[in-house]
Amino acid sequence: MEIIKLRDDYIKLGQALKAAGFVESGVEAKFAILDGLVKVNGKVETQRGKKLRDGDIAEFKGKQIKITG
């Protein structure tokens, strides 16, 4: 599980996928999210700009990102 520590109140889902190294570009993140391949807190998320906050968990291809404050 990758841990991302917030510098602000939130990080956008596409940015989190890129920061964790799960995708190589914002475009790749966009299509992964739009194709329904990403879950946030166990539910499929299709909004690239979804704000992830402390305690949220995103999942992509069996790998997880935990957001911490």
Report pTM.
0.92
Please, which residues bridge with residue 3 across strands?
66
Domain ranges of the chain: 2-68
Residue 24's pLDDT is what? 96
d(CA 54, CA 27): 25
CA–CA separation, 25 and 44 (whole Å): 20
Q: What is the pLDDT of residues 47-69, one digit of tens each?
A: 989 999 999 999 999 999 999 99
Assign 26 a pLDDT band (cuts: 50, 70, 90): very high
Buried b / exposed e over 42-62, threshold 16 CB at 10 Å, is eeebeebebebeeebebbbee
* CATH entry 2.60.40.420 includes domain 2-68: no
**29: phi then psi, degrees, rounded to nearest 5:** -60, -45
pLDDT of residue 65: 97
Average pLDDT over the chain, rounded to an integer: 96
Residue 10: predicted pLDDT: 97
